[in-house]
């Protein structure tokens, strides 16, 4: 209004041109013409009435804007805080308010005023954080060095950061890498730290979480989706290269880097556990630090808003389990993590969904559980359920056919095949190895296969399998069998022989 008073004084009182007034007040010529046109329409010139206030001048020049209503005004700060509660809507708040103030605004004008207040407060309206609804997760860009105390090798630990959208309550943890196991186990520990389960987890498009990024229908990793089903929550992925979709965790990554990681970078850590022990007190301090522009802290806001609205944790935490698509071998066993697990023989050559946990291996076909096994340690071991095998006569028909083929090659081959079949708890487990040995006839002659099997029998139990026989033939060791199988005679003066003792008996 002071600029408009100056404009009227220069134009009407001192007869300056519109262009001169615009240059003097650093306004555009169009703005000067607009103000003069409004003053003319309001019947104003220079000098202005002596007792005309700025508010009255504004009302004369802009009659339809900035009018001060005599009706009661809602407390917009309190309205905004109430919207953070579970199930609360603007319509419900307006209904309660209009009952107390019947002369208040209509619902539509109430919403328009609230949006205008939000714009003035610089509060985004695109993402509205409901209490206990969303947990935002991400990895920090900064990594921390961890020194191996035995070798001195330095590795870079990843920093997992999670924050609640309603209260900004934050969780920070160091993990060895960004693999699927580290990702899932960090989530499990985060939920235990929070003491409840949110409705939604919003993540980035890293490989451990999303197998195919899509704006409308991203495909989540099978194990990550299984984790979400276990805790009865929903997964959401931010759009690619759109950090604003997970703005709360982006801000907390910055805060945790400044207030936690930067304070620890001058120290040396010799394990992930030691690093997390150093992070814990600084994280607690960050969550208890009062906000600068509103009351409370992350912890107090979490306990007041988020925690009461979150679902309870299940009795047992989620155990890491990996899902794979695997094909059943001809011996109706699935090869999973180095060992073999049986399924009903009718599903041979089918592709199954196999769940592999630290203790169990479970096979599914079209969401139907076919087999459940205790996970075997080591490599190459078999877990076979008797009910999964075909009928008795079919098993022995295969055995007789294999032994008949081995007999046609030679006695050493027959003996080796019998040992391969007898060594397994169930002979069907040795069918693949036996058929592989007999299949070497196609590449090598029967004579060489017979010699190789004889050599394997001499070498002992560890060589009596398909890889060893194949290696003997590949490197031609079977052709030197006669040279190595007969050791040279040992001559020594202390060796007297049978003749000496025969003489002494006489």
**What is the three-state SS of 178-195?**
CCHHHHHHHHHHHHHHHC
Q: What is the pLDDT of residue 153?
A: 93
Architecture of the domain whose range is 134-309: 2-Layer Sandwich (3.30)
pLDDT band, very low/low/confident/very high, at 191 (cuts 50, 70, 90): very high
Residue 389: phi and psi, rounded to 5, are -80, 155
Q: What is the pLDDT of residue 194?
A: 94
Q: What is the pLDDT of residue 2?
A: 79
- pLDDT: which is higher, 304 or 501: 304
- pLDDT: which is higher, 27 or 489: 27
Q: What residues have CB less than 8 Å from 56, skipping those under 6 apart?
A: none
Q: What is the pLDDT of residue 84?
A: 73
* Whole-angstrom distance, CA of residue 65 vs CA of residue 46: 24
* Whole-angstrom distance, CA of residue 305 vs CA of residue 299: 10
**Distance of alpha carbon 255 from the chain centroid:** 22
- pLDDT: which is higher, 498 or 334: 334
Q: What is the pLDDT of residue 393?
A: 42
Q: What is the pLDDT of residue 66?
A: 46
Q: What is the pLDDT of residue 445?
A: 84
pTM: predicted TM-score of the whole model, two decimal places:
0.57
Residue 160 pLDDT exceeds 90: yes
Candidates 62, 17, 15; CA nearest to 37 is 62
Residue 368: phi and psi, rounded to 5, are -105, 130
- pLDDT: which is higher, 120 or 335: 335
What's the chain's average pLDDT? 84
- pLDDT: which is higher, 286 or 56: 286
Q: What is the pLDDT of residue 201?
A: 94
Q: Give the residue-averaged pLDDT of 46-61.
A: 79
pLDDT band, very low/low/confident/very high, at 122 (cuts 50, 70, 90): low
* Whole-angstrom distance, CA of residue 412 vs CA of residue 46: 124
pLDDT band, very low/low/confident/very high, at 12 (cuts 50, 70, 90): confident
* Whole-angstrom distance, CA of residue 306 vs CA of residue 299: 10
| Domain 2-61 classification at class level | mainly alpha
Q: What is the pLDDT of residue 356?
A: 93
Judged by average pLDDT, the poorest of 39-53, 251-265, 342-356 is 39-53
| Residue carrying structure tokens 């969780």 | 171
Residue 161 pLDDT exceeds 90: yes
- pLDDT: which is higher, 63 or 282: 282
* Whole-angstrom distance, CA of residue 8 vs CA of residue 48: 9
Q: Where in the chain is the domain with CATH 1.10.10?
A: 2-61
Residue 371: phi and psi, rounded to 5, are -155, 150
Instruction: Give residue-wise pLDDT tens across range 389-442.
Output: 877 545 555 677 888 888 898 998 889 888 888 877 666 667 778 888 888 888
* CA angle in degrees (0–180, nearest 5) for 392-397-402: 130
- pLDDT: which is higher, 161 or 82: 161
* Whole-angstrom distance, CA of residue 446 vs CA of residue 443: 9
What 3-state DSSP class applies to 137?
strand
pLDDT band, very low/low/confident/very high, at 20 (cuts 50, 70, 90): confident
The fraction of the chain above a pLDDT of 90, given in percent, is 33
Q: Give the residue-averaged pLDDT of 9-26.
A: 83
Candidates 195, 135, 170, 140; CA nearest to 282 is 170
Instruction: Give residue-wise pLDDT tens across range 148-159.
Output: 999 999 999 999
Q: Where in the chain is the domain with CATH 3.30.420.10?
A: 134-309
* Whole-angstrom distance, CA of residue 99 vs CA of residue 72: 12
Instruction: Give residue-wise pLDDT tens across range 443-494.
Output: 888 888 888 898 888 888 888 888 888 888 888 887 776 555 555 555 555 6
Residue 88 pLDDT exceeds 60: yes
């Amino acid at each position: 209004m002071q600029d408009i008073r100056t404009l009227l004084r220069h134009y009407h009182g001192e007869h300056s041109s519109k262009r001169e007034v615009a240059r003097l007040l650093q306004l555009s010529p169009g703005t000067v013409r607009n103000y003069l046109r409004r003053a003319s329409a309001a019947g104003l010139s220079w000098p202005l009435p002596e007792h005309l206030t700025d508010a009255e001048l504004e009302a004369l020049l802009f009659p339809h804007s900035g009018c001060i209503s005599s009706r009661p005004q809602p407390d917009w700060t309190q309205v905004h805080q109430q919207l953070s509660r579970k199930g609360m809507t603007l319509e419900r708040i307006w209904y309660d308010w209009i009952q107390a103030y019947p002369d208040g605004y209509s619902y539509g004008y109430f919403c328009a005023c609230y949006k205008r207040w939000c714009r003035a407060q610089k509060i985004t309206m695109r993402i509205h954080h409901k209490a206990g609804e969303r947990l935002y997760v991400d990895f920090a860009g900064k990594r921390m060095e961890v020194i191996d105390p035995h070798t001195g090798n330095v590795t870079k630990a990843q920093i997992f950061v999670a924050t609640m959208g309603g209260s900004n309550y934050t969780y920070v943890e160091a993990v060895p890498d960004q693999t699927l196991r580290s990702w899932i186990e960090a989530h499990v520990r985060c939920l235990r730290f929070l003491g409840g389960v949110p409705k939604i987890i919003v993540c980035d498009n890293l490989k451990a979480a999303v197998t195919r990024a899509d704006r409308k229908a991203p495909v989540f990793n099978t194990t990550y989706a299984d984790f979400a089903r276990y805790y009865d929550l929903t997964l959401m992925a931010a759009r690619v290269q759109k950090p604003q979709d997970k703005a709360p965790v982006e801000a907390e990554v910055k805060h945790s880097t400044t207030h936690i990681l930067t304070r620890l970078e001058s120290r040396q850590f010799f394990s992930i556990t030691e690093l997390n022990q150093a992070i814990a007190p600084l994280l607690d301090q960050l969550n208890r630090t009062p906000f600068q522009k509103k009351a409370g802290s992350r912890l107090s806001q979490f306990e007041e808003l988020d925690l009461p609205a979150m679902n309870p944790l299940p009795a047992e935490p989620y155990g890491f389990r990996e899902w794979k698509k695997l094909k059943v071998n001809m011996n109706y066993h699935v090869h999973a993590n180095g060992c073999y697990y049986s399924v009903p023989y009718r599903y041979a050559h089918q592709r199954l969904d196999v769940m592999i946990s630290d203790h169990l291996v479970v096979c599914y076909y079209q969401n139907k559980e076919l087999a459940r096994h205790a996970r075997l340690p080591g490599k190459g071991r078999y877990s076979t359920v008797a009910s999964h095998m075909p009928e008795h006569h079919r098993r022995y028909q295969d055995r007789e056919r294999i032994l008949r083929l081995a007999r046609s090659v030679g006695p050493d081959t027959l003996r080796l095949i019998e040992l391969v079949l007898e060594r397994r708890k169930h002979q069907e487990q040795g069918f693949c190895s036996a058929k592989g040995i007999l299949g070497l006839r196609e590449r090598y002659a029967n004579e060489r296969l017979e010699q190789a099997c004889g050599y394997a029998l001499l070498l002992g139990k560890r060589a009596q399998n398909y890889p060893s026989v194949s290696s003997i033939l590949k490197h031609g060791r079977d052709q030197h069998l006669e040279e190595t199988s007969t050791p040279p005679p040992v001559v020594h003066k202390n060796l007297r022989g049978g003749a000496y003792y025969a003489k002494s008996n006489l």
